[in-house]
């Protein structure tokens, strides 16, 4: 019995959107068994499609996935900042970094085909600070958790 792929995609996306922290494919598989998703390749293919569509991102350092916060526009791939304490991921604009990388690459005669920037540290909440510019502070996943605190 073939389950429609869009169903699996929706289960995977909904699960990631509900999770405040990134999940590995293995954790997703465990969480989706009750939905009838049993096979690792099915989960991997859904993850691949969702990533290609820009709905989720993969953290190479953790080999885990999270739902895109949806607040970075433009072509530049965002910078992923992972809090080592609460494990939440922030998405920062990658535009300034891309400009810098292009300049360096040009001077080295290197043509960039892809790049990933993952930053580790403590988020403002875990450090007990408020972000210097609250408009610049990343939503974490609060936007997706019932949209509380939306201004
Ligand atoms: Zn994103
Ligand atoms: Zn944190
Ligand atoms: Zn965000």
Contact assessment for residue 29 and residue 43, using Cβ atoms and an 8 Å cutoff: yes
**Same domain, residue pair 76 and 35:** no
CATH value at residue 28: 1.10.10.10
Quick check: is 150 in a domain?
no
Number of domains in the chain: 2
Quick check: is 151 in a domain?
no
Q: Ligand 2 center to residue 10 CA distance, Å?
A: 28
Q: Ligand 3 center to residue 15 CA distance, Å?
A: 17
**Same domain, residue pair 55 and 76:** no
Contact assessment for residue 143 and residue 151, using Cβ atoms and an 8 Å cutoff: no
Q: Ligand 3 center to residue 140 CA distance, Å?
A: 5
Cα 40 from Cα 63, distance rounded (Å): 15
Report which bound ligand comes closest to the CA of 138.
3
Give pLDDT tens digits for 103-137.
999 999 999 999 999 999 999 889 887 766 655 56
Give pLDDT tens digits for 54-95.
999 999 989 999 999 988 877 789 999 999 999 999 999 999
**Same domain, residue pair 53 and 91:** no
**Same domain, residue pair 83 and 63:** no
């Amino acid at each position: 019995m073939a389950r429609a792929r869009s169903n699996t995609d929706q289960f995977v996306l909904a699960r990631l959107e509900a999770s405040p922290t990134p999940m590995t494919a293995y954790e997703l598989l465990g969480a989706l068994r009750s939905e009838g998703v049993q096979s690792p390749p099915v989960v991997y293919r859904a993850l691949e499609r969702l990533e290609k569509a820009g709905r989720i991102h993969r953290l190479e350092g953790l080999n885990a996935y999270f739902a895109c916060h949806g607040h970075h526009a433009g072509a530049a791939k965002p910078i992923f900042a992972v809090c080592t304490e609460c494990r939440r991921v922030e998405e920062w604009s990658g535009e300034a970094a891309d400009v810098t990388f292009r300049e360096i690459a040009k001077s080295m005669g290197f043509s960039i085909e892809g790049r990933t920037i993952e930053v580790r540290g403590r988020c403002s909440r875990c450090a007990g600070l408020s972000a210097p510019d609250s408009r610049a502070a990343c939503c974490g996943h609060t936007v997706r958790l019932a949209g509380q605190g939306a201004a």
